[in-house]
Amino acid sequence: MPSGTEPRSAERRVLVVSHDPAFPPKSGTDLRNHRNAVAAAAFGPVCLASVRPQAMEAVDPPIRIEALSIEGEARTGSVGWWRIRAEHRISRSALTRLETLVRDFRPDTIVVEGIGLFKLLQPLRPLTKQLILDMHNVESDLARQLHRADKARSAAARLATAIAIRRLEGKALSLVDRVWVCSNEDRERLMTLFPHRVPVDVVPNGIPHAGDIPETLPAEPAADNGFPVILFVGHLDYPPNVDAAKRLAGIIFPRVQQAFPAATLVIAGRRPKPAVRALAGLPGVELVEDPETMAPFLSRAHLTIIPLAAGGGTRIKILEAMAWGVPVIATPLAAEGLGFIENQELLLSDSDEELAQMAVGLCLDAERRANQRIRAHQAAWTRFGPRAIRNAVRDGLGLDEAGG
């Protein structure tokens, strides 16, 4: 998809503040923070600053990269006294560097990553014309999902956590001018919880590494090294992904193998838990730990199955698969917020048996598989490609409202 340069009638200086360094982007959070910063660079100078130190010297021509902490420096006191697990610790030295950076960079807009950085909102409020909270998830809703599955904690403890996070979200919304969310579903959740607080803009997660993906639909991989090759990608120490990988390798994939004995399941991702490593001992299952790039695996895959039962936000790995032309079979929750057309652009079910049947059926029907690849590829690039994300960031900055 064309990525052209947006015309600028009014320059907007933007500072994006994240907890972890977002460059080079690795996790889904990094990808969103970096992508938003690059998109904002179409409208003026951008600085991307992380609370935690950079592991290496960062050079990214479109944007300025800064870290608010230095590796190995002496520990200082933290900002604020009240903390819940949803918040990150922020040192006073990091806050001092951030205030110095703001005075030097003079941003018109500051975008703060999530309520984990809540303690930065009050100090930043008087330092900028526009303060935006980028909620990668509605954390109180995500906590409700995750803690509901946490049988080690009492129902009262799980409820108390969700209530505490919701209270923090409410305080955050009282301090900012706008909020960004990933999907229409999250926008509706937030507006139901906190009606009439501030404008809520949908800035979706875009195709990750879009510049490294061929924009024309690649040919389907050959079947000479086994068919089908099924791919599962995710952060493999994140509990919902661990559960999904176990469900896929232990229940769904064996049913696919009954129809296709040469099938291969490739599980790839960062920091796999021991429970995920153990899956590599199952017949036909391969584990790829901490891959530098997903391109070789996506170009080899015939389909991806994502049996996610908990989690929040939109799933950028679905977008990446579709952008490569890999058909997607998933649970409805895994694809929530993406708005793809069921049975045309992807296949959905909550049932392990149905997910396996869908995979077998798609592998047996080459014409249907080809049609799904074409439709999904076009939808992903049209709605989540670089131009679409730039337009969403423009709207989220309120540039049209400001006459920009």
pLDDT > 80? residue 201? yes
Q: Where residue 152 falls among pLDDT bands split at 50, 70, 90?
A: low
- Let me know whether 145 and 232 are in one domain: no
Residues 46 and 176 in one domain: yes
Tally of domains in the chain:
2
Q: How far is CA 105 from the centre of its chain?
A: 27
Regarding whether 91 and 170 lie in a shared domain, the answer is yes
Smallest CA-to-CA distance from 320 within 221, 185, 210 is with 210
> Is 217 in the same domain as 189?
no
3 within a domain of the structure (yes/no): no
Q: Are residues 21 and 124 in the same domain?
A: yes
**41 and 125, same structural domain?**
yes
Identify the weakest region by mean pLDDT among 2-6, 101-105, 176-180, 268-272: 2-6
pLDDT over 70, % of the chain: 90
> What whole-number distance in Å separates Cα of residue 357 and Cα of residue 306?
14
d(C-alpha 91, C-alpha 103), whole Å: 19
Residue 7 domain flag: no
pLDDT tens digits for 329-376?
999 999 988 999 999 999 999 999 999 999 999 999 999 999 999 999
In a domain, 2, yes or no: no
Whether residues 185 and 45 fall in one domain: yes
Give the domain range for residue 179: 14-206+385-396
Structure pTM? 0.85
Residue 402 belongs to some domain of the structure: no
DSSP per-residue letters across 77-94:
PBS-S---TTSPP-BHHH
291 upstream amide cis, omega within 30 of 0: no
Q: Of 4-8, 72-76, 230-234, 375-379, give the lowest mean pLDDT range.
A: 4-8
**How remote is the C-alpha of 252 from its chain's centroid?**
25
Contact 86, 70 (CB under 8 A): no
Same domain (yes/no): 182, 256: no
Q: Do 226 and 106 share a domain, yes or no? A: no
The answer to whether residues 353 and 391 belong to one domain is no
Question: Where do the DSSP E strands lie in 245-396?
Answer: 264-269, 285-289, 303-306, 328-330, 347-348
DSSP 7: P
Does some domain include residue 235? yes
Is residue 54 situated within a structural domain? yes
pLDDT in tens, 256-301: 999 999 999 999 998 999 999 999 999 999 999 999 889 999 999 9
Whether residue 185 is found in the same domain as residue 327: no
Co-location of 281 and 139 in the same domain: no
Q: What is the 3-state secondary structure (H, E, C) of 42-74?
A: CCCCEEEEECCCCCCCCCCCCCEEEECCCCCCC
CA 102 from chain center: how many Å? Answer: 27
How far apart CA 90 and CA 281 sit, in angstroms, is 42
Q: Chain-wide mean pLDDT for the chain?
A: 89
309 part of a folded domain:
yes
Most confident of 288-292, 376-380, 399-403: 376-380
Residue 159: its pLDDT value, please?
74
Secondary structure letter of residue 91 according to DSSP: B
Choose from 69-83, 212-226, 277-291, 389-403 the range with maximum mean pLDDT: 277-291
| CA–CA gap between residue 404 and residue 385 (Å, rounded) | 22
Residue 70 located in a structural domain: yes
Q: What is the CATH number of the domain that holds 156?
A: 3.40.50.2000
The reply to whether omega before 45 is within 30° of 0 (cis) is no
